[in-house]
Chain A
Amino acid sequence: MIREKDKIEIYIDEGLCKGCDICIELCRPGVFVKSEKLNSRGYYVPVPASMNKCTGCMICELICPELAVIIKKNELVKEVV
């Protein structure tokens, strides 16, 4: 089966992140994991480790209290399932 899907990229602005884990915990498909190393301000920032699970729902971008999660939805790509 071939379906069309947004090509989604997630960026984390490490300089703004305060490691509250809200994105990690509220992402239903579980895209994020906690980074193993601290950012410059001493927080463990999230890493979008499983991008293939991302549905592009945007909750992480909208709910981030620091505007540190940025979602880019680029051109549609065809994906073979």
Chain B
Amino acid sequence: MKNELLKYLRTDILPTEFCSGCGCGTVLNIFCHVVDELKINPDDIIMVTGIGCSSWIPSPYFSADTLHTTHGRAIAFATGVKVMKPDKHVIVIAGDGDLAGIGGNHLIHAARRNIGLTVFLVNNYIYGMTGGQVSPTTPSNVPTTTTPYGNTEPAFKIAELVSAAGASYVARWTTYQVFHLKKAMKDAILNKGFSFIEICSQCPTSYGKRVGMREGIDQLKDFRDNSIDLKKTAGMKDEELENKFIVGKFAERNRTEFTENLRNINRKFDEVPV
């Protein structure tokens, strides 16, 4: 028997090229469930993506109009798409290296602008496709191929960053909390402004094995055992939150959407002479 959700995928290239146990496939799976449950016609979705493993979720697998851009620039390209196609769901799925590293500037500015994009940042804590180099979200002290003596930098807290930049909707979940993640994806897609979910995801091949978790399931158990609800973190010290995954909804605000503001300006000229 075949999964009915395969109708949302470019099935001639399945199975995916993701490693066994990779979280990217779980994100793809839940995204298909969300599109199905929201009854969104894929013809009304435009996927925009960058470079890296998680960029492969839409390109090539999810079957919709797909713009597979240069490294880090997905949100910039998506901005042009959304301005010209404000009625479509313009959805960006890419990784931590892509959206928070090389493309970090576009991420915070899109949040500030509150352009009606939906962004799913799949955070696997590493540059996976290039073989396991340190990323802006790699925790301190973790050894990677480019931090052989341990990562000397602190990691970005991306959900907190995007929330501070002004996004309409911000959440963080892991690939273990599939039901919360599914609900959050729906909320994000239905939110009219800039909506963002940081999805903490496992990468057994390039990250897990460096922190003693060789299989995808090992990292999922880590997510299960070490996630903590954002609401319960009030008053907790930084040391208590070390190595914890703070999950939950970080922001939900009502702000006017950027392309709507642009269109309002144009309407002023509908009847006015030059």
Contact = CB atoms under 8 A, between A and B. Distances in A.
Interface of A: 11, 13, 15-16, 18-22, 25-26, 41, 43, 58-59, 61-68, 70
Given A20-B216, A25-B217, A67-B28, A62 B20 contact: no
Contact of B15 (A16, A22, A59, A70): A16
B16 A66 contact: yes
Nearest to B61: A67
A68 B3 contact: yes
Given A15-B15, A21-B215, A65 B3 contact: no
Interface of B: 1-6, 9, 14-16, 18-26, 28-30, 32-33, 175-176, 178-179, 182, 215-217, 220-221, 224
B26 A65 contact: yes
B178 A18 contact: no
A5 B28 CA distance: 30
The interface residues of chain A, by DSSP majority, are classed as loop
Given A18-B21, A20-B216, A65-B28, 10 more contacts: A19-B20, A20-B215, A21-B21, A22-B216, A22-B217, A25-B217, A25-B220, A62-B33, A65-B216, A70-B3
Nearest to B16: A66
Contact of A22 (B3, B16, B30, B220): B220
- List the 10 closest A-B pairs by CB distance, nearest first: A65-B25, A20-B21, A18-B20, A62-B178, A11-B1, A20-B20, A25-B217, A67-B3, A16-B15, A65-B26
The interface residues of chain B, by DSSP majority, are classed as helix
B117 to A, nearest CB: 24
Contacts of B19: 18
23 contacts: A11-B1, A13-B2, A16-B15, A18-B20, A20-B215, A21-B215, A26-B176, A41-B15, A62-B26, A62-B178, A62-B179, A62-B182, A63-B178, A63-B220, A65-B18, A65-B22, A65-B23, A65-B28, A66-B15, A66-B29, A70-B2, A70-B3, A70-B4
A68 B16 CA distance: 11
Contacts of A20: 20-21, 215-217
